[in-house]
C-alpha cells in the first residue's frame, strides 16, 4: 500500500524487511519503519494506497453505528407511568 520507493528507504545502512518486527545488524523491521520512516515523514508520505481499505473500514463503522446506538440507548418511558416492580 505504501509507495515502493518509501519501502526501499535505507536507515543507518539497513534496509527494510516487512517480515520483521524489530531490526538486526542488516535490516530493520516494521516498528522502526512506522516510527522512523512513516511518522517522521508523515507530511510527505503518500497514503493514497490506503484509500480502499479506509473506505471499507468507514463503511463497517457506519453499518454498525445504528445497531450499537440502539442497544446503548435507555428504554423510553412514558412520563407519569409507574415502574413495574
Q: What is the pLDDT along the chain (85 residues), one digit of tens a residue?
A: 999 999 999 999 999 999 988 889 999 999 999 999 999 999 999 999 999 999 999 999 999 998 888 888 876 555 665 555 5
With 0.95 as the threshold, say if the pTM is over it.
no
Spatial neighbors of 17 by CB under 8 A, at least 6 apart, are: 27, 28, 29
- Residue 29 near residue 17, CB atoms below 8 Å: yes
As a whole number of angstroms, the distance between CA 10 and CA 27 comes to 9
Residue 80 buriedness (CB in 10 A; 0-12 / 13-18 / 19+): exposed
Residue 16 buriedness (CB in 10 A; 0-12 / 13-18 / 19+): buried
pLDDT at 81: 57
* Phi, psi (rounded to 5 degrees) for 49: -65, -15
At which residue does the C-alpha cell 516487512 appear?
Answer: 18
Amino acid at each position: 500500500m505504501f509507495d515502493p520507493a518509501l519501502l526501499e528507504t535505507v536507515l543507518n545502512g539497513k534496509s527494510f524487511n516487512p517480515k520483521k518486527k524489530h531490526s538486526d545488524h542488516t535490516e530493520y523491521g516494521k516498528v522502526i519503519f512506522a516510527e522512523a520512516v512513516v511518522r517522521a515523514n508523515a507530511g510527505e508520505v503518500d497514503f493514497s494506497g490506503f484509500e480502499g481499505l479506509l473506505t471499507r473500514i468507514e463503511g463497517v463503522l457506519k453499518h454498525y453505528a445504528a445497531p450499537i446506538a440502539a442497544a446503548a440507548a435507555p428504554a423510553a418511558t412514558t412520563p407519569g407511568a409507574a415502574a413495574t416492580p
